[in-house]
Amino acid sequence: MRLSRLNALSALTSSSALLLVATGVPVLAADTDQRIEEAAKNSYNFRSFLKEDSVKVNSSHGIVTLTGTVTVDFHRSLAEETVGDLPGVQSVVNKITVTGTQPAPASDDWITLKVKSTLAFHKNVSASATGVHTAGGVVTLTGVAQSKASKDLTGEYAKDVEGVTEIRNELTVNGAAPPHESLGEAIDDSSITAQIKTSLLFHKSVRAMATKVITKGGNVSVHGQAKTEAEKEKVTRLAEGIKGVKKVSNHMTVAAR
């Protein structure tokens, strides 16, 4: 009888252990998936640039599926880049669709959208206080800037956007703080990385696809290959100007001629 009870107890203990092993992994995976979904929802990019869109994030064992809709084409890739850089993410399946009429590539409306978007990513300029009008590739900037340096920087960012042939900088300097701009708001690393990658896509003087960006605590390291020293320096300047960036270390190599 005693042996029978011991055998029963042993069997129960073994069954419990197997149950813990069998259920423990899914529980841990579920916790990770929940953290990924929450981190995406609470990221700066989702709370700011994507807040008017309807993007859904579902993670299963680190494989994230994005569904829903966006009204601006590049928001689709911005969402993917943001989520793809989160801890625990193994891969991203992007099923987001774009709604509404989109400007034709290289059209004036397309250039205007790219200029406005790149200004929104950068610090020391004000996207909300800057009017952008494009006609035949010529971009006219109107509105106010808080300083001469801010005015010049706005023109510099706009001039380098793909498709821009000329900048007419008609911003006036008033010395006031930019309206409706969030100051001192913490920006997570995944949002910074996604903004840098997206911004590089907008600019004609750099090769975004040959550039790898890593952000840790706001410190950015850039890797890849540049055609020239000028291109490498441009990548550094663009990355340094992104909101939330503390420091940029550029490890890009320059292609031999």
Q: Where are the domains of the chain?
A: 37-102, 108-173, 189-254
Is the CB of residue 171 less than 8 Å from the CB of residue 188?
no
Tokens, residue 232? 């490498």
The fold for domain 108-173 equals Histidine-containing Protein; Chain: A; (3.30.1340)
**CATH for the 37-102 domain, from 3.30.360.10, 3.30.420.10, 3.40.1390.10, 3.30.1340.30:** 3.30.1340.30
Q: Which pairing describes strands 166-169 and 63-70: parallel, antiparallel, or unpaired?
A: unpaired
Residues of the chain with pLDDT under 50: 1-3, 5-6, 8-9, 11-24, 180, 182-183
Q: What is the pLDDT of residue 26?
A: 56
Is the CB of residue 66 less than 8 Å from the CB of residue 95?
yes
The fold for domain 189-254 equals Histidine-containing Protein; Chain: A; (3.30.1340)
Tokens, residue 73? 């084409």
- Whole-number Å distance between alpha carbons of 226 and 47: 33
This prediction's pTM: 0.83
Tokens, residue 149? 């340096």
Q: Do domains 37-102 and 189-254 have the same CATH topology?
A: yes
Tokens, residue 46? 């989702």
Q: What is the pLDDT of residue 257?
A: 67
Is the CB of residue 160 less than 8 Å from the CB of residue 109?
no
